[in-house]
Amino acid sequence: MGLGLRHVAVVVTCWILMLCSVFETSYGSKTRHYKWEVEYMFWSPDCKESIVMGINGQFPGPTIRARAGDTIAVELTNKLYTEGVVIHWHGIRQLGTPWADGTASISQCPINPGETYLYRFKVDKAGTYFYHGHLGMQRSAGLYGSLIVDVADGEKEPFHYDGEFNLLLSDWWHRSVHEQEVGLSSRPLRWIGEPQTLLINGRGQFNCSLAAHFSNGSAEQCKLRGNEQCAPQILHVQPNKTYRLRIASTTALASLNLAVKNHKMVVVEADGNYVQPFEVDDMDIYSGESYSVLLTTNQDPSYNYWISAGVRGRKPATPPALTLLNYHPTSASKIPLSPPPITPRWDDYDHSKSFSNKIFALMGSPKPPTNFHRRLTLLNTQNTINGFTKWAINNVSLTLPPTPYLGSIKYGLKDAFDQNGPPENFSNEYDVMKPPVNANTTLGSGVYMLGLNTTVDVILQNANAIRPNLSEIHPWHLHGHDFWVLGRGEGKFTKEDEKKFNLKNPPLKNTAVIFPYGWTALRFVADNPGAWAFHCHIEPHFHIGMGVVLALGVETVGNIPNQALACGLTGKRFMNPKQN
């Protein structure tokens, strides 16, 4: 389906389902209204019935489609009965609307059961985005969906394609998120293990194989008839056309590698920013990242071809997710003759780095300032507190307060969080190649207060975990801003490593990975007032402390909705409009 027809189809679907309405505003932009209800429901994402968190009876949630410059207005009603909810609009910078970022305890209060909250914000830049829950483990529970922003009317993409598909990647457990939360908070930690299934657009197949005939009968063939919820969404294509694949990863844990059998992909977008096109056979994608690739259907049209997504960065205990690239006029039921693509070995980090090192900004993209005003060097470690396992940054494990930072900073509520800022560096004596000599850490809720319009460098430093010879991948996501990825390296970052920085054409992204025992250097301009999360996008890691909070220019933020702050120390004040 072509881009224009697809756009029309989404709008018509919204109208039919009464999920959204569209109103013209000035200069051709539109306000797109949605009414959503979040609730638990029975579903079979991988052909095994579970309880998922859905929106308006859908899993994944409805896709939002808009154009750059449009305003999105989502009336979100919480029908969960016993727990709060928020939704984060991942990759949307929320320029001028920091209270709509959807981060519990940072930008807003959780939406209580039975309450409705209005998210209203502008999508200022075309790109591939998504949304997800940002309270507890609600992303693991299935609270996510796609958010696609097309170029504004009258503008064109810097590349041509004939049609497009959206691939939202996720992972799925059969045990509940509540069990996972209790396990993470237990002494000692009780880990529920690797996900049972990988999902493509919310669909996967557990304990069976779409490619069963390659296993000589050792794998059970999937029984998909009558089970539409787990049947793969097949990509139907015409021969000799170019298709845009919009790929986003909302996984809670897994890093993934995606490949299309016998087809090359040309990467053209990363995290909503255009990149210098480059060709790959397969691509790594980490939790929180999004890409667009161009795929040309130049293979024999009398066959179909596997699309595979497999685990990277962790010893895989989860089979790859599979679906089909179906060439017209070949039947979609025709199984490919060749096996699916083989995922690179899980710990082949040279393969991963080779892909990351090919990403450069498209010519004409904004360049980073040549100097910085402040540098934060953030050491990522695994630690303990009284026998409880934690993740920590510079030996502080983040604990979020009941009063949202946006309100407590704006109105000077000094008792709402730690007033001492967290450490900006770590001891030069620390050996990142070995487990910590002293594994103890502390809890903290302090904030890095940044000067408005200053240039900030962040050095993400990875290290050995508590167990010897173990250092994990961590994809870090910044809210409210994009950053330039200036470089990566091995071991401990030193002043000499600055010579390796790319100041000519570094990619702009909102999520960047640090590889085991390595470092990643970022630079951004702190020009968007608000209180912003910056954290590892692996959900269990953030849940037990792997993140920080950045605040800048909060005193300039106006018109914060009362409901965003109606909890904690700000609750009484902001539920009374006369005091605001």
- Is 41 strand, coil or helix? strand
- Residue 199's H or E segment, with its range, is strand 197-200
Q: Please say whether the beta carbons of 463 and 517 come within 8 A.
A: yes
Q: Which domain holds residue 281?
A: 5-70+123-356
CATH number of 55's domain? 2.60.40.420
Is 158 domain-assigned?
Answer: yes
Cα–Cα nearest to 121, from 85, 147, 153, 156: 147
Q: What is the DSSP string of 511-545?
A: EEEE-TTEEEEEEEEE-S-EEEEEEESSHHHHHTT
CA distance 347 to 517: 13
Among 325, 356, 387, residue at a domain's last position: 356
CA distance 236 to 233: 9
Residues 221 and 302 grouped into a single domain: yes
Domain count, the chain: 2
Sheet holding 508-509, edge to edge: 442-444, 396-398, 388-393, 374-385, 454-461, 518-526, 483-490, 508-509
Q: Please say whether the beta carbons of 509 and 485 come within 8 A.
A: yes
Q: How many residues would you count in the chain?
A: 580
Digit-coded pLDDT (tens) for 405-446: 999 999 999 999 999 999 999 999 999 999 999 999 999 999
Residues 292 and 379 grouped into a single domain: no
Among 356, 382, 406, residue at a domain's last position: 356
Residues 386 and 351 grouped into a single domain: no
CA distance 141 to 347: 28
Q: Which amino acid is at 577?
A: P
Residues 409 and 528 grouped into a single domain: yes
132's tokens = 């997800």
CA distance 393 to 267: 33
Phi-psi region of 115 (alpha: psi -120 to 50; beta: other; left: phi over 0): beta
Residue partners of 184: CB distance under 8 A and separation at least 6: 190, 191, 389, 540, 543, 544
CA distance 406 to 99: 8
Residues 463 and 513 grouped into a single domain: yes
Residues 384 and 285 grouped into a single domain: no
- 402, 407, 411, 417 alpha-carbon torsion, rounded to 10°: 40
Is 528 domain-assigned?
Answer: yes
Residues 309 and 442 grouped into a single domain: no
Residues 386 and 333 grouped into a single domain: no
Residues 221 and 301 grouped into a single domain: yes
Cα–Cα nearest to 221, from 203, 200, 205, 233: 205
Is 75 domain-assigned?
Answer: no
Residue partners of 281: CB distance under 8 A and separation at least 6: 259, 264, 265
Among 294, 321, 356, residue at a domain's last position: 356
Is 113 domain-assigned?
Answer: no
Residues 265 and 406 grouped into a single domain: no
Q: What is the mean pLDDT of the chain?
A: 92
Residue 176 CA: distances (Å) to CA of 168, 170, 474: 21, 16, 24
Is 385 domain-assigned?
Answer: yes
Q: Please say whether the beta carbons of 520 and 501 come within 8 A.
A: no
Is 513 domain-assigned?
Answer: yes
Within 70-162, strands assigned E span 71-78, 87-90, 116-122, 127-133, 144-150
Cα–Cα nearest to 343, from 465, 260, 274, 436: 260
* Residue 468 neighbours by CB distance under 10 Å: 8
| Residue with the two structure tokens 């090919």 | 358
User: HEC states along 383-395?
Assistant: EEECCEEEEEECC
Residues 439 and 297 grouped into a single domain: no
pLDDT tens for each residue of the chain, 580 residues long: 333 333 333 333 343 333 455 554 445 689 999 999 999 999 999 999 999 999 999 999 999 999 999 999 999 999 999 999 999 999 999 999 999 999 999 999 999 999 999 999 999 999 999 999 999 999 999 999 999 999 999 999 999 999 999 999 999 999 999 999 999 999 999 999 999 999 999 999 998 777 653 344 445 667 665 678 999 999 999 999 999 999 999 999 999 999 999 999 999 999 999 999 999 999 999 999 999 999 999 999 999 999 999 999 999 899 999 999 999 999 998 989 899 999 999 999 999 999 999 999 999 999 999 999 999 999 999 999 999 999 999 999 999 999 999 999 999 999 999 999 999 999 999 999 999 999 999 999 999 999 999 999 999 999 999 999 999 999 999 999 999 999 999 999 999 999 999 999 999 999 999 999 999 999 999 999 999 999 999 999 999 999 999 999 999 999 899 999 988 877 756 555 454 4
* Integer Rg of the chain from CA: 23
482's tokens = 């994009």
Residues 273 and 189 grouped into a single domain: yes
Q: What is the DSSP string of 272-341?
A: TEEEEEEEESEEEE-TT-EEEEEEE--S-TTSEEEEEEEEESS---SPPEEEEEEETTS-TT---SSPPP
Is 509 domain-assigned?
Answer: yes
Is 30 domain-assigned?
Answer: yes
Q: Please say whether the beta carbons of 488 and 507 come within 8 A.
A: no
CA distance 475 to 473: 7
User: HEC states along 219-268?
Assistant: CCECCCCCCCCCCCCCEEECCCCEEEEEEEECCCCCEEEEEECCECEEEE
